[in-house]
Amino acid sequence: MKLIYCPYCSDVVRLHKHKRQCECKKIWGMYIDDLNATISKRAILIGFSNNSFIDALKSKPNTEKGTKFEAFVIDKNSSTIKIEK
């Protein structure tokens, strides 16, 4: 799954097949297909492993910290990302 982070308002938005913006509307992004995405120039792209997330949900402990899952910042030079100006 891909998310975008806004360095201006600190909002995090999940990408969809339609254009989505952060709270301050300075960044945006959308899926082109199931893998590829288009994002605005200043958006910071975040990804997380779907399998890791599902495993964390299944093993949800009764503690305040919860279960960790794998997340990562996606390089804008990725072949699956198109940057719009």
Going residue by residue through the chain (85 aa), what tens digit of pLDDT does each one get? 899 999 999 999 999 999 999 999 999 999 999 889 999 999 999 998 889 989 988 887 777 778 888 999 998 888 989 998 7
Provide the 3-class DSSP secondary structure of residue 57: helix
What residue ranges do the domains of the chain occupy? 2-84
Dist. CA 63–CA 32, nearest whole Å: 38
Q: Given this model, what pLDDT does residue 60 score?
A: 75
Q: Which residues contact 38 (CB under 8 A, 6 or more apart)?
A: 29, 30, 32, 81, 82, 83, 84
